[in-house]
Amino acid sequence: MNSPTDEQAALIRITLEGTKMSYPDRYDQENLLNLHKAKMSLEQAVDLLSQ
């Protein structure tokens, strides 16, 4: 699967560090983090199923 872009990676990193952006950017920040977490979970599930 594709890796996040540099901009997406930066948003994920600052979110994981606990930095909150102002609205409406915070919605995009939280949405992106949730999508990233879902992607990571799906990749883990695929790896487990392919063993």
Q: What is the pLDDT of residues 1-51, one digit of tens each?
A: 567 778 778 877 887 888 877 888 778 878 888 888 898 899 999 999 998
Q: Can you give the pLDDT at residue 8?
A: 77
Q: Can you give the pLDDT at residue 1?
A: 53
Contact assessment for residue 32 and residue 8, using Cβ atoms and an 8 Å cutoff: yes
Contact assessment for residue 6 and residue 48, using Cβ atoms and an 8 Å cutoff: no
Contact assessment for residue 18 and residue 50, using Cβ atoms and an 8 Å cutoff: no
Domain ranges of the chain: 6-49
Cβ-Cβ contacts under 8 Å for 42 (sequence gap 6 or more): none
